[in-house]
Amino acid sequence: MARANELPRIPEGWLDGAPVESGGADSNPAPVQLASALDYDGATRQLTLTRSDGRVQQFPANNNAQRNSRGKWEDGTFQYGYHKDHPDDDSPDGAYGSYGIHVFQVPGAEGVGVHSGRENVPDQLGRSGVDHATKGCIRTTDEGVAAINGAISAGDPVTHITVRNNRQE
């Protein structure tokens, strides 16, 4: 019996309380892949990383798209694409911050993702940090991108981002 605040143990060979079906004596059951997820709330301007073990981390973020960009992300869920470093400009004040960009599969938008940067560099309207305008990306802090990188490095990959309350202005 599980104690308070402790999850019950699922018996080996069981998933979600039901036995895992095996393909026969010659097959091995597929391992269960744990994964993290991101959530961006445009109303609160928060990026939330939820790890597969239930740990939650929140970071300030903004989808402040500049006028000549693709615009803000639509509300929805978008699958993870890839990570790209920007070693020529990897600093808190660089265009993509210290840790590069995590790109998601957003219809009609190639290379759009989550990154940091411009911590102390104002845009044309004097905004810096997460409020510095982008070409459509969600900008967060270096700490936020480092947390995403940490999850992936720990074998807990981010599979998707859910964007909500991201009203077009």
* pLDDT in the model for residue 9: 36
Q: 36-164 domain in CATH 3.90.120.10? A: no
* pLDDT in the model for residue 44: 97
* pLDDT in the model for residue 159: 96
pLDDT for 16 beyond 60:
no
pLDDT for 14 beyond 50:
no
CB 111 within 8 A of CB 100: no
Cα separation, 116 vs 137, in Å, equals 10
Residues written for the chain: 169
- Each residue's pLDDT tens digit, 23-77: 444 455 555 557 999 999 999 999 999 999 999 999 999 999 999 998 999 999 9
CB 49 within 8 A of CB 144: yes
Instruction: Report the relative pairing of strands 76-84 and 101-104 from DSSP bridges.
Output: antiparallel
pLDDT for 11 beyond 60:
no
pLDDT for 86 beyond 70:
yes
Q: Helix, strand or coil for residue 142?
A: helix
Cα separation, 117 vs 99, in Å, equals 9
The residues near 117 (Cβ < 8 Å, ≥ 6 apart) are 92, 93, 94, 95, 96, 97, 132, 139
